[in-house]
Amino acid sequence: MQLTGIHHLTAVTANASGNHDFYTRILGMRLVKKTVNQDDVSAYHLFYADGEANPGTDITFFDWPVEREQRGNHSITRTALRVAGRDALDYWAERLDSEGVSHGGVVLRDGRLTLDFEDPEGQRLSLLDDGGEGPATPFDRSPVPAAFQIRGLGPITMTVPDASRTQRVVEEVLGMRLDRTYVGIDDRQTLVFAMGEGGAAAELHVAVAPDLPPARPGAGSVHHVAFRIPDGDYDAWTQRLAHLRLPQSGPVDRFYFRSLYFREPNGILFEIATDGPGFATDEPLATLGEGLALPPFLEGRRAEIEKGLKPL
């Protein structure tokens, strides 16, 4: 019973239309699900992924009318997006320049070529060369050439004042393993925890920053990170968290996947999510994201929900 990698990451935007433009037009990702926050139906929940909406490729956003994040620790501070090869990074540097998106240079960090940039609301992102490991499913209507498209999520970096309690939870509860350490951004000592077979799609990076104040969530912040499990392991994970008496959500059916939620000792929200049944459950694969999708328990409120949403 193992986590197999990053499932998705959910962040916050205060500008749904601008967010949609950036992630689909500039980054070339596919909007694979346009739905609502199931706990706050006034807010969009937008999912951007690869050509077939595979688990591990989704960066998602809640649309809330909030001020910008105040950066600090006790938060997820950088999301890596995987691409294949130095040529891809050179392409992206030119593309970001042409779109007026500021970015750093290509650097070698933790043994991988990386290009740092931010979205218009300050969401901290990196394009990372994964060496072409594993399958990729390009989107045939992306403005980005298939060879250079984003292949999926890479390592997720969280920043905490003290990693010891987080380490205990990710190792003893989640079964991750400490793989290595490196000196990361701002000379922060960073611990790398691997899941499953490891690699860029299956790592959590924990940066230690005792000098930073706590972050205040807002636009540009990350709400939570989700880790992948096979569908058949869900009941066992539910029982495991209950047996450990860990404060947690209990089973939550999100219709597209099933989830469990809990906070690690620094207050960062973790989710465990099944790979299935997937986003083509209620829409044809060919037209994912083209209309507002609602899980069955919200379908009866469609007219009310649609009235409250801004057009993208």
The full 3-state SS of 216-270, as one line of letters, equals ECCECCEEEEEEEECHHHHHHHHHHHHHCCCCECCCEECCCEEEEEEECCCCCEE
Name the maximum alpha-carbon separation found in the chain. 53
Q: How far is CA 308 from CA 10, 11, 101, 282, in A?
A: 21, 21, 31, 22
pLDDT bucket at 266, cuts 50 / 70 / 90: very high
Q: Token digits for 186?
A: 């701002």
DSSP label at residue 291: S
Model confidence pLDDT, tens digit, residues 17-57: 999 999 999 999 999 999 999 999 999 999 999 999 999 99
Closest CA to 32 of 273, 291, 220: 291
Look up residue 183 and give its amino acid. V
Percentage of the chain with pLDDT > 90? Answer: 97
Q: What secondary structure does DSSP assign to 107-151, as a single string?
A: EEETTEEEEEEE-TT--EEEEEE-TT-S-----TT-SS-GGGS--
pLDDT of residue 296: 93
pTM flag (> 0.85) = yes
Residue 290 has phi, psi (to 5 degrees) of -80, -20
For residue 9, the model assigns a pLDDT of 98
Rounded-to-integer distance, Cα 137 and Cα 116, Å: 23
CB-based contact 201:275 (threshold 8 Å): no
pLDDT bin (cut points 50, 70, 90) of residue 311 is confident
pLDDT tens digits for 67-124? 999 999 999 999 999 999 999 999 999 999 999 999 999 999 999 999 999 999 999 9
The 10s digit of each residue's pLDDT in 199-236 is: 999 999 999 999 999 999 999 999 999 999 999 999 99
- The residue ranges of every structural domain in the chain are 5-308
Query: Alpha-carbon distance 89 to 91, whole Å?
Result: 5
CATH class of residue range 5-308: alpha beta
Q: Model confidence at 261, in pLDDT bands (50, 70, 90)?
A: very high
